[in-house]
Amino acid sequence: MEEIATLEREILAAIGGAADEQALEAARIAVLGKKGSVAELMKGLGAMSPEERKTQGPLLNGLKDRVTEALLRRRDALKETALDARLAAETVDVTLPVRPEMRGTIHPVRHVYDEVIQIFGDLGFAVAEGPHIEDDFYNFTALNIPPEHPARQEHDTFYLRERADGTRKVLRTHTSPVQIRTMMAQQPPIRIIAPGRTFRSDSDQTHTPMFHQIEGLVIDETTHLGHLKWVLEEFCKAFFEVDKVKMRFRASHFPFTEPSMEVDIGYARDGAQIRIGEGDSWLEILGSGMVHPKVLSASGVDPDRYQGFAFGMGLDRIAMLKYGIPDLRAFFEADLRWLRHYGFSALDLPTLAGGLS
């Protein structure tokens, strides 16, 4: 019994002297491990007589329980001490000045994306989306684009590998497929915008292989060119934040609209700055027209009953115009200096009431 009492004092002293959890674990193994001091004594019970086991068994089990309890108490104490030390080391001096400016910014294309949605949302347009990888039918055929059209050639369009049936998927070259999918999915009246990424094999100061586009579509029984003109005027006044804007419509050709028109806005140049709504110079900003009857038919819409208009513009292009960005390629270079100069605060959300830019 005296031997057990002496051993217990030694064990408790070792546990109490453990400076950290690693040292405590070493003490536990030395005592309760397979070859530990208490474990070795427990193994000796098998060689004792029944009378000795009745005496020694409770003593050894009691020792084991008290050692285990001491280990748990010491572990809790060490954890609390370690936490106190960590908290003391990680304190923050709240008197330090804050950073002079936010480091992250919203990309100007993302900001313009939100601006455009705000404007057209106020005009009653819903936002529609579609896949980036399209079938030939949605991207070309349903839009009345003939097989010999240059847009179908590989020098202008990104095609995926040929499938077993000989057809190939395509990276959409415009967001017009979203219009087709919308007309096939719901009955008129329809009033949507389709913003998103598009892809074409082109790269220079004003073109990139991936760019952003927004298209609009209105289909009902009475829509005409006057409505198209009013919508575009209201959009330009709101987007460029001017009281009035001069616009002109020039005859053009798009396979999916008839008649088709390019839209120019009036501007004046003040040094390196462009002022929209002033002057006698003209700048092309978008294409538009009345939806071609063949497009309506391909989408399951009765062209004898319904008609409508469509328009499309590049989000990157109008962002360059509004915010004076000279090179489109810089949009995709991830230059932090450029982003900090042209970017917007994360909390600077565009609204018609509070201001867009």
**Residue 62 pLDDT:** 76
**HSE-up of residue 110 (Cα within 13 Å, Cβ side):** 12
Q: Which residues fall within 8 angstroms of residue 176, CB to CB, at 6 or more apart? A: 139, 143, 194, 215, 256, 310, 312
What is the pLDDT at residue 150? 82
Instruction: Round to whole Å and give the CA distance between 259 and 233.
Output: 19
pTM for the structure as a whole = 0.67
Number of C-alpha atoms within 13 angstroms, CB side, residue 17?
8
Edge-first strand order for the sheet with 168-171 is 133-134, 168-171, 159-162
- pLDDT by residue, tens only, the chain of 357 residues: 566 677 777 777 777 888 888 887 887 777 777 777 777 777 676 667 777 767 777 777 777 778 788 888 888 888 888 888 888 888 777 777 776 666 778 899 999 999 999 999 999 999 999 999 999 999 999 999 988 888 878 778 898 988 888 888 999 999 999 999 999 999 999 999 999 999 988 766 667 788 899 999 999 999 999 999 999 999 999 999 888 999 999 999 999 999 999 999 998 887 777 888 788 889 899 999 999 999 999 999 999 999 999 999 999 989 988 888 888 888 888 888 888 888 888 777 777 766 666
The Cα 207–Cα 123 span in angstroms is 30
Q: What is the pLDDT of residue 53?
A: 67
For 334: left if phi > 0, alpha if psi spans -120 to 50, otherwise beta; the answer is left
